[in-house]
C-alpha cells in the first residue's frame, strides 16, 4: 500500500505537483516509487505535505526539485507556508478523512481538522 498520493495541477501557487502523506509512514521513505510515478511526466518543484506523518511540526512542508527522472536530493528544504496554501491543502484532507485515522495526529486534532477548524 502506498503511503502517499500525488496530485499534479493541484493549483497550489508555485507548486504544480503536491505529494500528500496518507498515513503515519512518511512519503520520503518512498522517494524511489514517487520518482517512478513522476518519471517523464513531470519536471519542476514538488511540494510535500507530511501532515499525517510529521504532524504540525516545522518540517510538515518540504519542497524539492524533480528533474524529470529523479529528485535533486540537495534541493529538499522545509518551508514555512502561508495560510492560503494551508487552506488549499486542507481540502485534500477534508475529502480523505479516512486517512486521518492512520496518522500520528491526536484524535482531538483529527476532529478539528475534519471540522475545518485547524490546518
**DSSP assignment string, 36-48:** HHHTTT--EEEEE
Q: Using CA atoms, how far apart are residues 59 and 91, in angstroms rounded to an integer?
A: 20
pLDDT digit of tens for each residue in the chain (119 aa)? 799 999 987 777 788 899 999 999 999 999 999 999 998 788 999 999 999 999 989 999 999 999 999 999 999 999 998 888 888 888 899 899 999 999 999 999 999 888 877 76
pLDDT at residue number 86: 87
pLDDT at residue number 119: 66
Residue 96 cell numbers, joined = 480523505
pLDDT at residue number 9: 76
pLDDT at residue number 28: 96
Q: Using CA atoms, how far apart are residues 50 and 60, in angstroms rounded to an integer?
A: 5
Tally DSSP H helices, then E strands, for the chain.
Answer: 4, 5
User: ∠110-114-116 over CA atoms, to 5°?
Assistant: 115
Amino acid at each position: 500500500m502506498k503511503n502517499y498520493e500525488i496530485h499534479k495541477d493541484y493549483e497550489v501557487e508555485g507548486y504544480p505537483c503536491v505529494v500528500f502523506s496518507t498515513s503515519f509512514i512518511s512519503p520520503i521513505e518512498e522517494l524511489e516509487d514517487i520518482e517512478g510515478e513522476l518519471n517523464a511526466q513531470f519536471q519542476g518543484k514538488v511540494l510535500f505535505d507530511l501532515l499525517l506523518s510529521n504532524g504540525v511540526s516545522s518540517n510538515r512542508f518540504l519542497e524539492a526539485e524533480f528533474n524529470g527522472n529523479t529528485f535533486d536530493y540537495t534541493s529538499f528544504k522545509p518551508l514555512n507556508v502561508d495560510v492560503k496554501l494551508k487552506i488549499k491543502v486542507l481540502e485534500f484532507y477534508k475529502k480523505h478523512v479516512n486517512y486521518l485515522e492512520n496518522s500520528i495526529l491526536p484524535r482531538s486534532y483529527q476532529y478539528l481538522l475534519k471540522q475545518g477548524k485547524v490546518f
